[in-house]
Every structure is written in C-alpha cells, then in structure tokens.
Amino acid sequence: MHTRIGTFDAPPDRLNDLIALFEERIFEEFAQLEGFLGYQAFVDREKGRFVGISFWNTSSALEASGETARQARREAASLGAIPVGEPQLMEQAFEARLL
C-alpha cells in the first residue's frame, strides 16, 4: 500500500470547513480514480492542524492522483489552510492492529 500524507495549519474556526472539503469533495474525487483505497483525516483543534492520508494500492496509482491532490491543496488554501511542507509519499512497511 502507498500513501500521500498532507499536513495543513488552518485557523481553528475553519477546521470544520476543511474537514468538509476533504470528506465531501476530495474523497469523492479520489474515489473516481483507479487504485484508491481510502482516506483518513486527523485534526488538532487547539493548534489548528489537519493531517490527511490517502491510501493507494500501487505507487503508479498514487502518482496518477497527483493533480487531484494539487487541486485539493489549492482549495484548502482558499479556506486559509497553509501546507506544512510538501506532501509525503510513502510505502507501507507493515500494519499491526489490536482487534
């Protein structure tokens, strides 16, 4: 599995708008792309930080989603979100869960 991890700092009062953007729009756009497996988002409401992680079945699927991800960053910026560094593109090393 491959992931893109994007981190944003945003005004705390705009976090709900940022969450809605990714949950309602960006997820749907990613879902139209081949190889998309899912999306998770995490927030620190006090600090105004949003971390989104998209999951892809291959590195080529991850790469092919790049323009959609860039558009998401532009739309997030229109809500006052500032990207923290560049998105991280990573391959899963392992997964462990307690059920």
How does pLDDT run across 41-92, given as a tens digit for each residue? 999 999 999 999 999 999 999 999 999 999 999 999 999 999 999 999 999 9
**CB neighbours (10 Å) of residue 54?**
26
d(CA 29, CA 74): 14
d(CA 55, CA 62): 8
**Nearest-5° angle of CA 39, CA 72, CA 34?**
50
The residue type of 59 is S
Whether the predicted pLDDT of 27 surpasses 90:
yes
Give, for 52, the enclosing helix (H) or strand (E).
strand 49-56
Q: What confidence score (pLDDT) does residue 31 get?
A: 97
**CB neighbours (10 Å) of residue 76?**
23
Q: pTM for the complete prediction? A: 0.91
